[in-house]
Amino acid sequence: MAQHRISTKRRSLMLGAAAAALVQPLSVLAQGAEEIVIGGSIPMTGVFAFAGVGINAGIQDYVKIVNDAGGIKGRKVRYVPEDTGYKVDVSVAAFKKITSQNKVNVYYGDSTGFAKTINPELERNGNILMAGASFASELNDPKKYPHQFLVGPDYTEMFGILLKHIAKEKPGAKVAFVYSDSEFGRDPIEKSEAAAKALGLSVPVKIMTPAGSVDVSTEVIKLRRAAPDYTIFHGYILAPIPEFITQGKQQGMKSKWMGTFWTMDSSTVMKMGEAGDGFMGVMPYRYYYDTEKAPMLEKIRALRPEYQSTAYMQGFLAAMLFLESAKRCLDGNKPLTGANLKAALNSLKDFDTGGLIGVPITISGNSIPVGRVYRADMKAQKMVAASDWIKL
Amino acid sequence: MRIGTLKESYVADAALFDSRTQHAWLAIAATLLLLFPFVASDYWLYMACLVAINVASATGLNILTGYTGLVSLGQAAFMGLGAYTVAILQTRYGTPFLLNLLAGGVVAMLGGIVVGIPSLRVKGLYLAIATIAASFIAHFLFANFQITGGTAGLSLPPARLLGMDLDTSFRLYWLIVPVAVLMLLGAANLFRTRIGRAFIAIRDRDISAEVLGIPLLRYKLLSFGLSSFYAGLAGGLWAYFFRVVTPESFPLSMSIFFLAAIIVGGMGSILGGILGAVFMTMVPELLKLVVDLLPGGAALAVFLSPVRLVVFGALIIGFLVFEPLGLAEIWRRVRRFFHLWPFRN
C-alpha cells in the first residue's frame, strides 16, 4: 500500500511538472511580444562547464546593463539559459524547449556539433540569429550557415594571427603544429600549413596526439628532432601542453610555445606553473585586468570585482553583438528575423566594443578576424600583451 | 497468482498478451501514441523521438546482455556503423530511406558478428573490455576514412516520404515511433521462439545449453548480430533525426548509457529496456523542469545544475539498492497489487 502511495505521489509530481511545462508557453507567448529574448544552450555541467559558467555570467551581466539602461528601444531583454552538460542531444532538447516556450530572437549555442545539428532548424525557423562557443572554421561560411556567426576569429584565423606575428618577429621561422585527434584539433591544420608557407615560414613537423593523452614522451622526441622555433598547440584546453613544454625544455628545446583561445584563459595558463612562463597565444578579447583604456571592462570590473575568465568576455561580447543587431533592426523598422538580424550584424563597420576588443571591428562574413598575441608573465601571474592587435 | 486467466492450449500459454485487460491497456497506449503528436509541443515531440531511438537501441542491448548474458560496451559503435551507412547511402546515392535504414542495420549486424567472435572464449568483464575495442576501432575508421567525411563527419538531407521531407520532430515521429514499436514487438516475439529460448539457456548456464544441443558458436554470434542490427537501425534513425553524423557522435559513454538503461530498467525484460531508456533519457529533463519550477530556479541554474546531476545519480543508486531487478520489477509489483485489489488485506 505504501508503495502504491509513493508511486501515485511520484506520478502526480511528474504530471504536475509536465502540465506546467505544457501550459507555460501560452502565458509566456502572450507577454513576450515586446521583449527581446536571448535563448542559450549553456554547458553549466560536464567537461565544458569551466567555460559555460563564465559565458552564462557574461551574457547575464550584459543583459543587466542593457535593461538597467532602459532596454533596447524600450524593449526589455530576457535571457533564458538551460544547462546542456555539453551534449548535443541535450543542447537540441534545450533549444526546442526554450524556443517552444519563448519567442526567441537570438540564441547562444554551446558546441560545433550543436551548431551543425541545429542549422537546418535555424533556417526553417527563420527568426533566430545564433552565435556560440565554437570557433570552428567550417561555421565561417555565410552560405552554409546564414543565420550564425562566430564571436571572434575562427580557428584557422587564430593560427593566421599567430603565424603573422611569427613571420614579423622571426622571418623564415620553423613552426611545429601539435594538435589533438579530434574535430576541434584537426580543424585549422591543413589550411594553416599552406598559410605558413605563404608567409615564408616552414612547418617541419605536425604531431597529432590522441584526445586526452597524458604520456607524450615519444611525441616530444619527435618534436625535439624537428627543432622548431615555435610550437603551436591546438585542440586542447590544458593537458598535455604542460607535459610537452616541461619535457621539451628538459631536452634542451629552445622553441617558443603557443596556444589558441580555449587554452588562453589566464587561470588555465597559470595552472601550467613554471612550464607556462613565456607561454604565448592568440586572444581576441582583452583580459579582465588589462590596464589599457576600455570603458566596458571598467563596467565589468565594477559589477564583478573578482577576475572574470575569457569565456565570460566571449559571452558578454556575444550578447553585445546580438543586441546591437537587434537595435539596428528596430532602428530600421525591420522585423527581428534571422536574415534581418544577420544583415544588421554585417552592417557593423568599425564598431566600438567598448574596449573588449582593442580595435574597432567590422563583421563582413561570419567571423571577427581580429586578435592579439599575449604572453604569460608568471611572476605577475598575468597575461601581458606581446603584440599589437592583428587584423587579417 | 492472477485470477481469470485460465489457459487451455500451449498457444494461449505462449501468447504475448494474454488478457483482455492487457489488450485494453495496449489499445489505450496506442491511441495515446497516435494522439500525442497533435497535442504536444515541439520539445515533447523531440523528446518522444529521442526516447524511441534510445528504447530501440536499449532493447537491442537487452537481447545481448539481458537475455544472452553477454556484456557489451560496443552498442554506440554499432549505432555509429548504422548511422554512417545511412548517411553515406543518403548523401552519395540518394537511395530510399527505408532501404538505407535496413542497410544500416545489416552493416552493423556484420560488425557485431565480427566483434562477437571473442565471446566464444571470454565472458563477463573480459568480454566487456573486448567490446570496448569496437568503440575505438569504429572511432578510428569514422575519423580517418574519406568516405565518412573525416573528423567533420557528414551532414545528410532529410528522409523523404511520398515527396515530403521528414524534417520536423512531428514528421519524424511517424517514422521513428512506429519503427521502434515494430522493433519492440520483434524482440518480444523473439523470446517465444526456439532462438530466444536458446539465448536464455546460454545466459543461465552456457555449458548446460551446449549439452542440451544448442550450438554456442551460432547462437552467441546470432545474438551479437541481432543486437547490433537493432543498434544499427537505431543509429540510422538517429542519423535522420540529427542529420549530422561525426565520429564524436557515438562515444563510449553512450554505450555505458545503454548498459545503465537496461540495468536500471531490468535486464532480461523487454519492459525493462523500455523503462530504463525512458528513465535515463527523461529523468534529467524532468529534473530540469523541477529546477525551473523552484522559485528563482532559472537564475540559480549555475548552482542547481550540478545538484541536479547528483540527484540523478542518487536516483539510479537508489533504484539499484532498493530494487536490483530494476524498474520492470517495480512495475510488476504494482501490477500484482492491482490484480488482487481490493481483496487483499
Q: Is residue A375 within 8 Å of A280, Cβ to Cβ?
A: yes
Mean of pLDDT values over B97-118: 95
Mean of pLDDT values over A106-125: 95
pLDDT grade, residue A376 (50/70/90)? very high
pLDDT grade, residue B4 (50/70/90)? low
Yes or no, beta carbons of B247 and A183 under 8 Å apart:
yes
pLDDT score at A9:
46
SS3 content of chain A, % helix, strand, coil (to 5): 45, 15, 35
Is 50 exceeded by the pLDDT of residue A12?
no
pLDDT score at A211:
74
pLDDT score at B306:
86
Picking from B151, B158, B284, the nearest residue to A182 by CB comes out as: B151
Dump pLDDT digits (tens) for B85-101: 999 999 999 999 999 99
In which element (H, E) is residue A230 found?
A: strand A230-234
Q: What angle do CA A19, B49, B221 make, to 5 degrees?
A: 135
Cβ pairs bridging A and B (under 8 Å): 102
CB atoms within 10 A of CB A369: 23
Sign of the C-alpha dihedral computed for residues B72, B73, B76 and B78 taken in this order: negative
Picking from A14, A182, A183, the nearest residue to B286 by CB comes out as: A14
Is 70 exceeded by the pLDDT of residue A11?
no
- Chain B positions contacting chain A at CB under 8 Å are 40-44, 46-47, 50, 143, 150-153, 155, 158, 167-169, 242-244, 246-249, 284-286, 288-290, 293, 298, 301-302, 305-306, 308-309, 330, 333-334, 337
Q: Name the phi and psi angles at A49, rounded to 5.
A: -60, -30
Cell 538517429, residue? Answer: B238
Buried b (16+ CB within 10 A) or exposed e, A186-197: bbbbebbbebbe
Q: Where in the sequence of chain A do the CATH 3.40.50.2300 domains occur?
A: 35-153+294-361, 155-283+372-391
Picking from A89, A96, A120, the nearest residue to B42 by CB comes out as: A96
Q: For residues A295 and A50, give the distance between their C-alpha atoms in angstroms, rounded to a whole number.
A: 26
Dump pLDDT digits (tens) for A330-360: 999 999 999 999 999 999 999 999 999 999 9
pTM of the shown model: 0.89
Residue to substitute from A3, A59, A84, A100, interface B, most B β-carbons within 10 A: A100
Cell 532462438, residue? Answer: B195
Residue in B with minimal Cα distance to A23: B41
pLDDT score at A125:
93
Is 60 exceeded by the pLDDT of residue A6?
no
Q: For residues A39 and A105, give the distance between their C-alpha atoms in angstroms, rounded to a whole number.
A: 8
- Extents of the domains making up chain B: 40-340
Q: For residues A103 and A38, give the distance between their C-alpha atoms in angstroms, rounded to a whole number.
A: 9
Is 50 exceeded by the pLDDT of residue B282?
yes
ipTM > 0.90 (yes/no)? no
Compute the mean pLDDT over every residue in chain B, rounded to the nearest whole number.
91
Is 60 exceeded by the pLDDT of residue A3?
no
Residues on chain A touching B285 (C-beta within 8 angstroms): 93
Sign of the C-alpha dihedral computed for residues B168, B174, B177 and B183 taken in this order: negative
Is 80 exceeded by the pLDDT of residue B325?
yes
* Angstroms from B278 CA to nearest CA on chain A: 13
Dump pLDDT digits (tens) for A224-241: 999 999 999 999 999 899
Is 50 exceeded by the pLDDT of residue A382?
yes
| 3-class DSSP assignment, residue A352 | coil
Q: For residues B61 and B263, give the distance between their C-alpha atoms in angstroms, rounded to a whole number.
A: 11
* Angstroms from A75 CA to nearest CA on chain B: 20
Dump pLDDT digits (tens) for B18-53: 778 888 989 999 999 999 999 999 999 999 999 999
* Angstroms from B213 CA to nearest CA on chain A: 44
Compute the mean pLDDT over every residue in chain A, rounded to the nearest whole number.
90
Domain at A35-153+294-361, CATH homologous superfamily:
Response regulator (3.40.50.2300)
SS3 content of chain B, % helix, strand, coil (to 5): 75, 5, 20
Choice between A18 and A324, residue whose per-residue pLDDT is larger = A324
Residue in A with minimal Cα distance to B140: A181
pLDDT score at B343:
73
A82 interfacial to chain B (CB closer than 8 Å) = yes
Choice between A22 and A91, residue whose per-residue pLDDT is larger = A91
Yes or no, beta carbons of A113 and B249 under 8 Å apart:
yes
Q: For residues B236 and B98, give the distance between their C-alpha atoms in angstroms, rounded to a whole number.
A: 10
Q: For residues A7 and B104, give the distance between their C-alpha atoms in angstroms, rounded to a whole number.
A: 40
Selection from A383, A357, A392, A391 nearest residue A151 by Cα? A357
pLDDT grade, residue B2 (50/70/90)? low
Q: Is residue A391 within 8 Å of A364, Cβ to Cβ?
A: no
pLDDT score at A21:
46
pLDDT grade, residue B3 (50/70/90)? low
Q: Is residue B265 within 8 Å of B273, Cβ to Cβ?
A: yes
Is 50 exceeded by the pLDDT of residue B56?
yes
pLDDT score at A386:
95
Burial of B249 (0-12, 13-18, 19+ CB in 10 A): buried
Dump pLDDT digits (tens) for B207-259: 999 999 999 999 999 999 999 999 999 999 999 999 999 999 999 999 999 99
Dump pLDDT digits (tens) for A269-282: 999 988 899 999 99
Share of chain A above pLDDT 70, in %: 92
Mean of pLDDT values over A199-206: 96
A284 interfacial to chain B (CB closer than 8 Å) = no
* Bridge partners, A121 (sequence order): none
Q: For residues B292 and B288, give the distance between their C-alpha atoms in angstroms, rounded to a whole number.
A: 6
Q: Which fold has domain B40-340?
A: ABC transporter involved in vitamin B12 uptake, BtuC (1.10.3470)
Q: Under CATH, to which class is A155-283+372-391 assigned?
A: alpha beta
